[in-house]
Structures are given as structure tokens and as C-alpha cells.
Amino acid sequence: MADLRFNSVFDIIGPVMIGPSSSHTAGAARIGKVVHDIFGEKPDKITIDLYESFAKTYRGHGTDVAIVGGLLGMHPDDTRLSTSLKLAYEDGIKVAFVPKSDKVSHPNTTKITMIKGDHKLSVTGISIGGGNIQISEINGLKISLSMGVPTYILVQQDVPGVITKVTDIFTKRGINIGTMTVTRESKGKQAITIIEVDDTKDQKEIMEELRSLENMVNVTFFN
């Protein structure tokens, strides 16, 4: 069995949420919200692959409306969550749910693909219980992102010098970067940089500086 650690009693009790299950609704909505924030714009099409437990119960347990609600920018306690499929349809977003028979490392796993024109993002997320999640893959790159530490996710144009300017912003403020992962769609197009740091010091100022950089497309922060 996987070694799942919880930081506090609230991780076990679970968050305030809409729906019957923290794993199937709160966690699912959080995964969707992370994907929404990284993608940074309204998609034309969403494909949601569902595995094991998610694939078997996504309609009855509300996983479908939770994921789509998150993809529309809703939090797990948003009262509009139950109408998310209707809202997506009214907004012209095509949504497809695809139950998969493949075996995966955790039963509450989903792979979400967002498309708008040439812009495509694929993210695999896991709801591990109590509303907690892990992001295990972005655009085919295997990662291990718990969203349990301060995390910056940047979308930038894949050009020389951007990463250096990004790290300089953290260095001059004395903020240690714990891990940094970079992936890109293809050479010269968009890249995604994930930065986990040790504290939230100067977060607002850092966000402003990062957003002001040339070739920066989108900046989000999770804590």
C-alpha cells in the first residue's frame, strides 16, 4: 500500500465541500482548478480520462461535476458546482468523459486534456483523500507535485534567458528553490516551469515581477 502522509487532523476530516466524498468531489474539483489555473484561458474542448474508482463511480459520486467545476475555476465549496456541466455547455465548451480500463497507481486518478486552437495541456492528477491531491504528470513529463508546499507554476514562451530571469527574482529576495521542473510543448513554443519554494515570503511582489517578464504568459501560485 502507498505510504500516504497527512500533515494535520484536517487532512483526515476533509475540507468544506459540495458533494458526498472528499476524494471524489473536493479532490476532483481541486485537480480541475489546478488545471484551469495552469491553462490560463477558456478551452474549446476538454477530454477527461477516468481510471479505476473514478471510472466506475464518476456520475453517482459527483466526480464529473466536480472536475468540470474546477476546470471552470470553481473551488470545492462553490455552490455552482452541481451545475458545472450545464455551465460548460452554455459556454460552448465540449466536454468528453472517457472511462479507462488501464491499471494505475491510485484508484482516484484522472488525466485531463485541455485544447484551445494550437494550445494543448495534459495533466494527470490523483485525489488521495481528505481533499488532498497530487499532480503526477504534465504534458507527458512525470512529476510528483503535492501542492502541499508553496508552488509557483509559470507558463512562458520557450526562448533563451527566461529561466535565468525567473531564478534571479527568487535569488535576490533570498528565497530558496526546493525543486524546479521545466517542460515544454515543443521547441520554441510554450513551456511550463514548476517551482516549489521554502516559504511564502514576498509572494505578491514575486508574482508581479514574474508577470512583468517578457515572454511570460501566465503565473499562478498555490499554497
pLDDT digits (tens, 9 = 90+) for 107-117: 999 999 999 99
- Taking all residues of the chain, what is their mean pLDDT, rounded to a whole number? 88
Q: Where are the beta strands (DSSP E) in the chain?
A: 45-51, 94-100, 109-116, 119-129, 132-138, 141-145, 151-157, 177-184, 190-197, 216-222
**Global pTM?**
0.81
* 143 vs 193, higher pLDDT: 193
Quote the crossing angle between the two packed helices 203-212 and 162-172, to the nearest 10°: 160
Query: What are the b/e assignments for 29-66, b being 16+ CB within 10 Å?
Result: bbbbbbbbbbbbeebeebbbbbbbbbbebbeebbbbbb
> Residue 192: which of 144, 146, 158, 143 has the closest Cα?
158
**pLDDT of amino acid 10:** 38
Let me know how long the chain is: 223
**Fold held by 151-222:** Alpha-Beta Plaits (3.30.70)
What does R_g of the chain's alpha carbons equal in angstroms?
17
How is the chain split into domains, by residue range? 14-146, 151-222
- 215 pLDDT band (50/70/90 cuts)? very high
Nearest C-alpha neighbor of 125 from the set 36, 37, 58, 35: 35
Share of the chain above pLDDT 90, in %: 70
Residue 101 has pLDDT above 50, yes or no: yes
Q: What angle do CA 191, 92, 56 make, to 5 degrees?
A: 80
Whole-angstrom distance, CA of residue 125 vs CA of residue 110: 6
Mean per-residue pLDDT for 49-78?
A: 94
C-alpha–C-alpha distance, residues 168 and 78, integer Å: 37
Helix axes 27-39, 63-71, angle to 10 degrees: 30
- Reported as a single tens digit per residue, the pLDDT across 200-210 is 999 999 999 99
* pLDDT tier, 158 (very low <50, low <70, confident <90, very high otherwise): very high
Cβ–Cβ under 8 Å, residues 130 and 15: yes
| pLDDT attached to residue 20 | 53
Residue 190: predicted pLDDT: 86
Report the pLDDT value the prediction gives residue 23, as an integer from 0 to 100: 60
CA dist., res. 117 & res. 177, Å (int):
34
Of residues 18 and 146, the one with the higher pLDDT is 146
Provide the 10 A C-beta neighbour count for residue 137. 17
Q: Give residue-wise pLDDT tens across range 7-36.
A: 443 344 444 445 555 567 899 999 999 999
pLDDT of residue 185: 73
Can you give the pLDDT at residue 116? 96
CATH fold of the domain at 14-146 = 60s Ribosomal Protein L30; Chain: A; (3.30.1330)
3-state secondary structure of 183: strand
Question: Is 60 exceeded by the pLDDT of residue 66?
Answer: yes
Interval 81-99 mean pLDDT? 97
**Judging by DSSP bridges, how do beta strands 132-138 and 119-129 pair with one another?**
antiparallel
- pLDDT average, residue stretch 89-105: 96
